[in-house]
């Protein structure tokens, strides 16, 4: 369970739209924030409703032995659909993300750049919202994790543990490549290896 003071402290920070750099950015950062004046409300609410049913907010971990902390944390919003037109609307009005097709004919729209998530995706869904309790919860938990990443707290073992705790509060987490126990065990092993590495004098 999340510790109440930590959870409330993070929750109080949600809503800040100031972007910071992160080591898990893949998509090119945007030069400007989303312009809501250019989005008709009918389109905004339509896309939010579509994402309510078909979109997902994901937090993933990938082993990175070359990192000081042995895991790379990635945040992503994505929607998949056979109709490219709808996903093109997401890219156009969110002003970010990538759109590509899969071998099975399904189109895939995703945003995995921290700046784009903070300045475009999160403000968009805070404005137009979700109807389902499930998606409202997932979005709230996603924002908490984004706040941890923005503060670079994901670069510590404590931050990783908090992210795992919050991620477990998201619905439909499904089967993951690495379990929480595997992630934490790898962190502990990495810390132990660091402690046992000889210093310049050859002493441990």
Asked if residues 138 and 59 have their Cβ atoms less than 8 Å apart, the reply is: no
3-state secondary structure of 81: strand
Instruction: For residue 10, give Cα distances in angstroms to 14, 122, 146.
Output: 7, 16, 10
Residue 65: burial class (beta carbons within 10 Å; 0-12, 13-18, 19+) = exposed
The domain segmentation of the chain, as residue ranges, is 36-188
Tokens of 28: 């090119």
Q: Residue 201: what pLDDT?
A: 44
Bridge partners of residue 57, in order along the sequence: 77
Q: Which of 122, 123, 149 shows the shortest CA–CA distance to 57?
A: 122
CATH of domain 36-188: 3.10.28.10
Q: Supply the pTM of this predicted model.
A: 0.77
Q: Which of 38, 59, 61 shows the shortest CA–CA distance to 120?
A: 38
Q: What is the pLDDT along the chain (204 residues), one digit of tens a residue?
A: 444 444 444 444 444 333 333 333 344 444 457 888 889 999 999 999 999 999 999 999 988 777 677 788 999 999 999 989 999 999 999 999 999 999 999 999 999 999 999 999 999 999 999 999 999 999 999 999 999 999 999 988 899 999 999 999 997 656 678 888 888 888 877 665 555 545 544 443
Asked if residues 114 and 77 have their Cβ atoms less than 8 Å apart, the reply is: no
């Amino acid at each position: 369970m999340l510790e109440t003071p930590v959870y409330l402290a993070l929750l109080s920070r949600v809503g800040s739209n100031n972007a910071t750099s992160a080591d898990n950015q893949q998509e090119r950062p945007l030069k400007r924030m989303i312009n809501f004046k250019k989005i008709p409300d009918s389109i905004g609410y339509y896309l939010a409703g579509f994402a309510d049913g078909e979109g997902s907010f994901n937090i993933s971990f990938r082993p990175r032995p070359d990192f000081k902390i042995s895991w790379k944390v990635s945040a992503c919003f994505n929607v998949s659909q056979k109709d490219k037109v709808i996903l093109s609307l997401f890219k156009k009005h969110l002003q970010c993300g990538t759109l590509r097709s899969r071998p099975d004919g399904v189109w895939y729209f995703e945003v995995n750049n921290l700046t784009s998530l903070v300045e475009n995706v999160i403000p968009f869904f805070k404005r137009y919202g979700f109807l389902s309790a499930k998606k409202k919860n997932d979005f709230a938990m996603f924002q908490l994790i984004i706040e941890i990443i923005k503060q670079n707290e994901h670069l510590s073992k404590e931050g990783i543990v908090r992210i795992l705790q919050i991620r477990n509060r998201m619905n439909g987490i499904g089967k993951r490549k690495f379990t929480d126990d595997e992630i934490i065990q790898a962190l502990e092993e990495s810390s132990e290896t660091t402690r046992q590495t000889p210093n310049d004098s050859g002493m441990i």
